[in-house]
Amino acid sequence: MGLLIKNGEIITASSRFVADIWCEDEKVTRIDKNLGAPAGAQVIDATGKYVFPGFIDPHTHIYLPFMGTYGKDDYESGTIAALCGGTTTIFDLAIMARDGEPQDALDLWHSKAEGIACCDYSFHMGVTRWDEDLADKLEKIAQSGVKSFKIFLGYKGALGVEDDELFNILKLAKKLNVLVTAHCENAAMIEQRQKELLAEGKTGPEWHEPSRPELVEVAGTRHFCDMAELTGARIYVVHLSCEGALRAAMEAKLRGVNVTIETLLVYLLLDKTYAERPNFEGAKYVMSPPLRDKRNQDILWAGIKNRLISTLGTDHAPFDTQQKKMGKDNFAQIPNGIPSVEDRVRLFYTQGVASGRVDLHTFVDLCSTQVAKTFGLFPRKGTVQVGADADLVVYDPAYRGTISASTHHMNIDYSAFEGREVIGRCDAVSVRGKVQVIDGEFVGKKGHGKFLAR
């Protein structure tokens, strides 16, 4: 039938203007003033509101087996939450077991999402080991449209890779023109530090951050960049949390390393004191790398404003309060993760744009455009222009609300941002021209989401 969005102020990474947008056959087909609607078309009046390109989360874990349990969201609840928060595309992680096969893992993640996801999605292929037989298998996966690998430099003995494996994965990625993303920590440092603290009887969630201090992340980031310099691979540092790691990546960039940096919403708004809350409340805020000293927040905001940091993700990993209690006597056994896929856009708008820290163009660039460009989806995604997918967010900046677990759509029994006021709301959200959200609530078609081959 077609979709017409009228009178909104269209905001992209580089322009802003008031116009109407006509969408047909899943695409934006016309942008102009005073467009009329054919009979049967759906019309949304966006007067006084912004129209953004659909936001893209580069880092989620919707289906998540981890530390002996599973994340509480599935591709229905997780993508409905994403959509209500303005995110129309997610990048999830398909993780091969250390003794498993990559295609088996990718097939499993496809089976969890296909016909269920409500927004569009793609995958990073988690590579947890190296052997010579893996090269052809990973090449086939890249040819299928999964053009990014994810490796871990933490989680020794489980997901983490050794240096010889890292070198060979990077060499293959260079050959295949695949981007390698990495969780950057030093696994040996973590292992020894955890042993020391636990031996001293320091078992609570407040000791998680001291077991993985900033220098551990700095060492991992520097090491990843050095290996990329040696191999010539394109790399992407996920969930960067602190000044030292940012400096290490910037030093590498000055040497010519092709490195892109992602940070997370939680690092901008929360600090390590949250994980120090009494009565095991701090466990809700345990993730890796950990929440850091508050002094890092101004550095990260400056890195965003000056575009040293290219993208903003969530690392959405939903474990409820009962699951967090798995680590009641040992902080190293607390399932890692802070759920936030629904909160990223509104909170970043509130704390970034409305507070004057960043402008609207930086907001769109960070949360949509640069993700699309980095991962091979631009200009199909990440902007508002003729020919792009009709992924659009009508955002009402006059709305005022409060974040609460009682009203969010994530399948989790707490909110890391409980009681925080937000400015604005995603009034209407479309995915390829199909309106999935109206007045901030999901009203659309379940299973509408498609896998995006890149």
The answer on pLDDT for 156 being more than 80 is no
What pLDDT, on the 0 to 100 scale, is given for residue 154? 80
Do residues 75 and 362 lie in contact, with contact meaning Cβ atoms separated by under 8 Å?
no
| Mean pLDDT to the nearest integer, 180-190 | 96
- Which residue in this structure is represented by tokens 């220098």? 215
Extract the tokens encoding 286: 């345990």
What pLDDT, on the 0 to 100 scale, is given for residue 318? 97
What sign results for the dihedral spanned by CA atoms 285, 286, 291, 292?
Answer: positive
Distance CA 208, CA 122 (A): 31
- Which residue in this structure is represented by tokens 């296909």? 114
Distance CA 360, CA 393 (A): 14
Domain 53-374: CATH superfamily, name plus number: Metal-dependent hydrolases (3.20.20.140)
Do residues 290 and 332 lie in contact, with contact meaning Cβ atoms separated by under 8 Å?
no
pTM of structure: 0.97
What pLDDT, on the 0 to 100 scale, is given for residue 159? 84
What pLDDT, on the 0 to 100 scale, is given for residue 61? 97
Binned at pLDDT 50, 70 and 90, residue 67 comes out as confident
Distance CA 118, CA 375 (A): 21
What sign results for the dihedral spanned by CA atoms 111, 180, 416, 346?
Answer: negative
What pLDDT, on the 0 to 100 scale, is given for residue 215? 97
- pLDDT > 90 fraction of the chain, expressed in percent and rounded: 96
Domain ranges, ordered by start, for the chain: 53-374
The answer on pLDDT for 158 being more than 80 is no
Name residue 226's amino acid.
D
Distance CA 109, CA 223 (A): 30
What pLDDT, on the 0 to 100 scale, is given for residue 272? 98
Binned at pLDDT 50, 70 and 90, residue 304 comes out as very high
55-69, 75-89, 211-225, 304-318: range with lowest mean pLDDT: 55-69
pLDDT digits (tens, 9 = 90+) for 426-443: 999 999 999 999 999 999
| Mean pLDDT to the nearest integer, 278-296 | 98
130-134, 197-201, 262-266, 309-313: range with lowest mean pLDDT: 130-134
Binned at pLDDT 50, 70 and 90, residue 66 comes out as confident
Distance CA 147, CA 138 (A): 10
What pLDDT, on the 0 to 100 scale, is given for residue 268? 98
What sign results for the dihedral spanned by CA atoms 341, 68, 270, 186?
Answer: negative
From start to end of 38-165, where are the E strands? 42-45, 50-53, 55-60, 65-66, 69-70, 87-95, 120-126, 148-152
* Closest to 177 (Cα-Cα) out of 152, 147, 150, 151: 147
What is the helix (H) or strand (E) element at residue 204, kind and residue range? none
What single-letter DSSP state applies at residue 331?
G
* Helix (H/G/I), strand (E/B), else coil: 280: coil
Distance CA 124, CA 238 (A): 12
Query: What average pLDDT does the structure give for the chain?
Result: 97
- pLDDT > 70 fraction of the chain, expressed in percent and rounded: 100
Distance CA 205, CA 329 (A): 9
Distance CA 212, CA 272 (A): 12
